[in-house]
Structure 1
């Protein structure tokens, strides 16, 4: 009996455990159902996308990310280039500044050189005066020569190579070894004197002075009108010196007898411009090795020496003296 009771009691316990597990299972399922119901209530089709769209979006995102990375790499590369270019720009600006400075210095030097050139182009007053005086002397000599050629076609008269003297060569005025003018050449000297009487007033000072702009625009003034005698090398040097001096004196005398007032023409120092000199054989213009050369050396030169001021300020003083007709008192410079 007791054994049967224990079996019954065990069976009752097993049945009770089964019932309990069943209840638990049911309760769990109920809870699961409640959760499913909750999640089902929260579900919305608007919060979901199709698989195709999802994959497309992911693919596009990945491409965008890749492009961003590429752009960042490109940006870094460009920034590196910009840094290099910035350094180059700094160097270029520095080089440009140096070039500008160099240009400025060169322009200053060019301006200095142009100023020098302008000054060099501007004629020096003293040099210009001397040039005009030389031209006037040449013109006076040409006038005398041309007139003598008209009046005495066979006369041997030339202008010196230096354009400072009228040259009578050979036996043009004197016979060989004689200091007296040829009879038919006295008229030549007198003609020269008459022409000088007309020319000298415009280039000299003193009582006979008659300067004006038309005859002497450069204000040139004659320092000396020198009658020079020359011989060849034949004979004794002392005799030749005396002969050349005598010929110069003879020419001077003939001229002043014909035109007595020639001695009244003065230079800037108030000295008579007309003078004489004898050089004998000391100043040949050719070697005395042929008859022709000796004939050339036997000559009388009518040399015109123009006054050469040493300073530009003298030019105005010369002009003022020509206007007044008198020179520097007491021969002062």
Structure 2
């Protein structure tokens, strides 16, 4: 793959915004380059200085954990920033297209619509996998990007590895594998295969297993060349100093991370076993994520509204392709899981 051919010509030619902090490394005694308030900041903590624009300390910890190079990491304001930037990097508005596999994460479509980029849709099968016909359509497409959500949202399942690999080998654009939920799956991350595929981009996040959704910190892993382009077009200080500090503290607390991950997996297994015992539940789909997609009878929307009346908020996915009659249930605390089950047991029929 020739990456240069996928990048918009104006982006290749543009000169990025550069600050002195991009050019300087080390500890300066006097910092008079960025028009900050040199006297300090209001509030209990000192945030009067702009953060590291390239998040070097955070990337070093992520690189160690994920066994990649810092130059293969982009950090964004949530994975949504990386999704948006990938479209803006490659797709000419009103001309190019992306490819999605519904049912899937809704922000791919939102980002495409915002950037005036066409959307090609190749639906998944009834068990939420890629059929031979779907793979053939993908490989014949001239789209600049394809988004493969695996584990998939809202269905919870991993896409079959051989299907993803065939797309990586035959698709002419960038292949973005969104692994927001990979920490709850047993499969290896596609980050372990970055060296094999120049067109591979892997998205991950601190919002799920790390329990840091409030930070809004997402990760993209790709070749150093592609990461260089993302750094070229991102806002200069897109990750705050507070976010970087909290992320570093989280990355250094592996014990807490693993304890939470295991507890959520136990909760998922418990719900997976208990929900099918209920008359109102018609089917619970297999999950490699921290949620379950379940089909309810006779009316999922009525169940959804009933749960709202009980103070329980779930996600109504009945309008999504292949998800008729389905609600998406996040794994909660043990007490929340018990409360959900008790409410469903009392659902009036």
- TM range, smaller chain: under 0.3
Q: Greater CA radius of gyration, 1 or 2?
A: 1
TM-score (norm 2): 0.25
More strand by share: 2
TM-score (norm 1): 0.26
